[in-house]
Structure 1
Amino acid sequence: MKKRVWGIAPHLPGVPMKNVGPAAALASLSLLAAACGGAESSPSGKPVEGGTFSFALAADPGALDPALAILGVTNTTLSLAYDTLVTIGSDGKVVPGLAEKWDVKPEAVTFTLRKDVTCSDGSKLTAADVAENVNHIADPATKSPIYGVLVPAGMKAEADEAAGTVTLSTPKPFSFILETTSQMFVVCGKGLKDRSLLARGTSGSGPYQLAEAVPSDHYTFQIRKDYAWGPNGATTKEPGMPAKVVLKVVPNEQTAANLIISGDLNSAVIYGADRKRLEATPGMGKFLMPVGNGQFFYHQGDDRPGKDPAVRKALTQAINLPELGNISSSGTGRPAKGLVQDPTPCRGDSVTGRVPAFDAAGAAAGLDAAGWKAGADGIRVKDGKKLSLRLLYITTRGAGPQAAAEYLAAAWKKAGVEVTLNGVIDTKLSESLYATQDWDVTWLPIGVTLPNQLVGFLSGPAAPKGGNFAHLKNTRYEELITEAAAKTGEEGCKLWLEAESALFENSDLVPVVETTVLVAQKGVKFDFPAATFVPTSIRMTEAG
């Protein structure tokens, strides 16, 4: 069984990737953004008081300083001990957290903090603490991998202790300046003064505090009984909240599944073959979680077949997309409705009616009209050159990408295209996309929760000078995102959705499927947006 490691959130728009680099940014796109899914069924029974909740981590979280956290398992761990200024509800709406209210403009947001928040060492949370978190990450000396990722590049923070406010500002409008703070963990207390304490400890205002850390084995958290400032004022006095949370490092997914069935674990995220076994287990909560879309991009460089929009459309028509989605997700996916996952402020369907439908005859006619005529061997030729595609995909994401690549190759071969499969491991993905550019089509899973997190990859300078790895130049998309960027949050959502549709209508990229995983829950239920806990939602229950 392969280890499953979630990545960090994606690189933000219009920002040079000098801090995280293309490799980290692309790894994040294909690994993170596990969004909040719906529970088809959940554990029943009476609340269990003073219980212990055990959850499997697929890898060790490493250093626990939030400013240096680059792995999703790290953020999963940190979410128990740290709060954020706001959170995003399951409906995409902004919910108060450490901040009880806010005033937002396109280039700045001012938060008014709750007055009753204390850190795990008993010290009071101040506006200066919050400002120091942001400015520490933005300091070049910190070399934070989340600067330009979770904290927008150029962001500055100023505190007003008398007013109990902190203002975050950016050099130019940043349309989701409020929403992005839902991903910033706030350090306070002793850890803010001595960050070396954060390597194997926590110093936050969250509902749990790290009590024991045994790297590569387990991390134990104890509840803070006085906690009363969670999302919408949630407390730790609710019936069924566990007194202790134990995160066990279990790299083998089959082992994790066995431990849940035996009762030695309450929960784990399951990607592979053990999913069906757990779903059939009596009393198992079937909580499905999206983990990004499956889709493919066409390289539009000057010397590539994909530069011609007629060719892109024809190649898309040659694919039965629902069938591809079913194969690539092993039957566990859902139709893609856009590029952005829930919970997001921009909800809607940017896909339906915007992508060419399956039409093998239409695909053949389109390629003929574009000048690609079938040769004696069935492969199409134009100006003495074969219609050849090099198809890039990742080999370390289980069977899905491999199955998708093989299906695409077979379908395009029927249409008269010569296809070469180019499977690479994670560490080679960025090199192929940005440096060697040895691809014509790439199957690239992506998951983000804010639409502006994709801008740097879908527009702007082309690789290798910029993040635009597919050399996209969609004028309509660029016009729409420019207009949307000047609006705050939901105000610009209609424009962001229209911008996505412009990409699909031009066959720049083709959304195929929303991939899901199982968050197995036995004897417990909890919310898990973006692969992080909502700790105050955890409820231990008797077997039902």
Structure 2
Amino acid sequence: MRTPAAAALTSLALLAAACGGGGGDGGDGGGAPATGGTFTYALSADPGGLDPAMGVLSITNTTLSLAYDTLVTASDDGKLVSRLAEKWEVKPDSATFTLRKGVTCSDGSPLTASDVAGSVNHITDPDTKSPIYGVLVPIGMKATADDAAGTVTLSMPEPFSFIVESARSLFIVCGKGVEDRSLLTRGTSGTGPYQLTEAVPSDRYTFKVRREYAWGPAGATAAELPETVVLKVIPNEQTAANLLISGTVNGATVYGPDRARLEATPGVVKNVVPFTNGQFFYHQGDDRPAHDPEVRKALTQAVNLKELAGIASSGTGRPATGLVMEPRPCRGDSVTGHVPAHDPAGAAAALDAAGWKAGPDGVRVKDGKRLTLRLMYATTRGAGVQAAAEYLGQAWRKAGAEVKLNGIIDAKLSESLNATQDWDVVWLPIGVSLPSQLIGFLSGPSAPKGANFAHLDNKRYESLVAEAGLLPSAEGCGQWLEAESALFEAADLVPVVENTVLHAAKGATYDMQAGEFVPTSIRLTQGG
């Protein structure tokens, strides 16, 4: 994988915050649509630099989604639908997209096939050092343009399942931003229905509507959109909830305890959607206890995963069904029946059989070495994750392990996983939209030489993804799902819960998909 292991893993962990299903359009919208006006949304952090090629933070992509389009998008059931591309032709190793006519950039210039190809090739250029290369844009992808025909072709060096699906995550830069990328640090240059007009870091980002916009999915236009969208940076979730209840802001995404208060507030439009997965990985280095698959399975059997799921999600989660988030290209449940079941007695017997015998203080010992587990987790992931770590520690202590909890901030997570490697178990969220985006993390060179931070070596997984990667996406779904199940059966990683998030609105309605606005869905409502 070209992306350095540490940078790629940071992308994985941070992109997790981007994932989730449709947006806040459930319930009573509070009245008929209103024209004009300002829609204000509570942004939980500053988005940083706004160049789409460098946009790895979820909050950055939320911001960019107002101003940029992609070639295709996904419906709620995961099916691909047109966006900038009106049609496409797919071959095993390439896809050719025909662009819509009449699309313009925010500076008035027409969108060209060269703009689209340039957006791809800029990301794949080694000099760019784009953190989304190898995560959102597959390694080896190239783009060529035919401006006369209005077509752009994305190609891979060998057959690849998700060529078209990869295009749904790629924001297209056009106009002045193509020639001068420095304009994109605090500005936008895209074909979306909004253009950034004011950027005040750590305070607000103001967008103005482009009334000429008429090329949205399914014929969506800007005719009924609010005149202005303000993304107000409000890091404190309680403050955001208070402002939404008072009507000062129209929308907010809430993860923590304030969601219960909002769900009980009349007049608040509520929609609970999938957010990201909660799971843990075992370090399988040669000198680690979990190198032995029987030890991994025994440690998994020692944990009541149903109870753990409730704790980790503070009671707001759903049963885990896979590693890829909604809207998934492959529908199905790869988890049920493939994870070692809760069986403390069986766990004890398996550890005995593996040579780990209880010592005088109750801690198991093998060849003079204590069964010590260093459990790492991010302290910035909320009280549920802290409680989940404590619960895991208790379960494994009962099974005869010495457990050391190591809570660290997100910024140190990648360094600790890859560079120091001083851990045995890690609670790590995953948020990707395609199963192919996980291959480099779940196989291949181990850290620090590669992105395989847990030193996984699952030959069945590797064989299945290699086979699936050569098939068209729909035809390979069976193999992709079976590959995930192979990981769970070997206890390489243990899926625990699918977290959910609340998209809330007052005086407005809006949709979000995978943590990004569906900008043509934003409406202010009368009587809200």
Q: Tell me, yes or no, whether TM beats 0.5.
A: yes
Aligned twin of 2:473? 489
Contact 1:55–1:247 (8 Å) recurs in 2: yes
Match of 1:41 among 27, 52, 55: 27
Structure 1 residues 384 and 29: alpha-carbon distance in aligned structure 2, compared to 1, 3 A threshold: farther
Contact 1:37 1:290 in 2 (8 A): no
- State the distance in 2 between where 1:383 and 1:342 align: 46
Aligned pair partner of 1:521 in 477, 483, 505:
505
Please give the TM-score of this superposition, normalised by the length of structure 2. Answer: 0.96
8 Å contact from structure 1 (residues 35, 449) kept in 2: no
1: distance between equivalents of 2:277 and 2:82?
A: 29
Specify the alignment match of 1:31 in structure 2. 17
Distance 1:49 1:392 in 2: 50
Q: Which residue of structure 2 aligns with residue 408 of structure 1?
A: 392
Which letter does structure 1 place at the counterpart of 2:358?
Answer: A
Question: Once the two structures are aligned, what percentage of the paired residues are identical?
Answer: 69
Secondary structure of the equivalent of 1:116? coil
Q: Which residue of structure 2 lines up, in the alignment, with residue 203 of structure 1? A: 189
Partner residue of 1:3?
none
1:530 is aligned, of 507, 511, 514, to 514
In structure 2, C-alpha distance between the alignment counterparts of 1:120 and 1:492, rounded to whole Å: 39
Cα deviation digits, residues 285-335 of structure 1 (max 9, x gap): 221232211111111111211112211111111111010000011111111
1:318 maps to 302
- Could you tell me how far apart the structure 1 residues matched to 2:458 and 2:50 are? 41
Q: Which residue of 2 aligns with 1:123?
A: 109
**Equivalent residue for 2:118?**
132
Matches within 5 A, 1:83-122: 83-122=69-108
1:503 aligns with 2:487: yes
1:103 positional shift: 0.9
Deviation at 1:38, TM superposition (A): 8.0
- Alpha-carbon distance between aligned partners in 2 of 1:384 and 1:211, rounded to the nearest angstrom: 66
Change (3 A) 1:250 1:514: same
Q: Which runs of 5 or more structure 2 residues have no equivalent in the other structure?
A: none
CA–CA separation in structure 2 for the residues paired with 1:112 and 1:247? 33
Change (3 A) 1:16 1:129: closer
Paired position in structure 2 for 1:434: 418
Question: What is the CA deviation profile of residues 332-375 of structure 1, one whole-angstrom value per residue up to 9, with x for unaligned ones?
Answer: 11110011110121111000111122111211222222222222
Counterpart AA for 2:48: G
Identify which of 243, 253, 263 aligns with 2:237.
Answer: 253
Q: Name the CA shift for 1:19/1:228 in 2 (closer, same or farther; >3 Å).
A: farther
Measured after TM superposition, the shift of residue 519 of structure 1 is 1.5
Measure, in 1, the Cα distance between the counterparts of 2:186 and 2:412.
31
Structure 1: gaps of 5 or more residues: 1-14
Is the aligned partner of 1:53 residue 2:20? no
Shift of 1:390: 1.2
For residues 169 and 435 of structure 1, the distance between their equivalents in structure 2, rounded to whole angstroms, comes to 34
Identify which range, 59-68 or 311-320, moves more after superposition: 59-68
Is residue 356 of structure 2 the alignment partner of residue 372 of structure 1?
yes
Structure 1 position 174 matched with structure 2 position 123: no
- Deviation for aligned residue 1:413: 1.0
1:163 is aligned, of 132, 149, 155, to 149
Give 1:6's aligned residue: none
In the comparison of the two structures, how many residue pairs are matched?
A: 528
C-alpha separation between the residues in 2 aligned to 1:19 and 1:209? 35
Of 292, 305, 317, 1:308 maps to 292
TM-score, structure 1 normalization: 0.93
Counterparts of 1:252 and 1:361, CA distance in 2: 45
Output the amino acid matched with 2:284.
Answer: Q
Q: Indicate the larger mover: 267-276 or 78-87.
A: 267-276
Superposed, 1:182-193 pairs within 5 Å as 182-193=168-179
DSSP-derived class of the 2:130 partner: coil
1:63 to 49, 61, 70: 49
Report the CA distance shift for 1:61/1:117 in structure 2 as closer, same or farther (over 3 A): same
Task: Report the secondary structure of 2:240's partner residue.
Answer: helix
Q: Supply the distance in 1 between the matched residues of 2:143 and 2:17 (Cα, whole angstroms).
A: 30
- How well do the aligned residues superpose, as a CA RMSD in angstroms? 1.8
- Paired with 1:503 and 1:202, the residues of 2 have a C-alpha distance of 41
2:325 aligned with 1:341:
yes
Q: Is the 8 A contact 1:101 1:112 kept in 2?
A: yes
Distance change >3 Å, CA 515–CA 408, structure 1 → 2: same
Change (3 A) 1:98 1:212: same
The equivalent of 2:61 in structure 1 is: 75
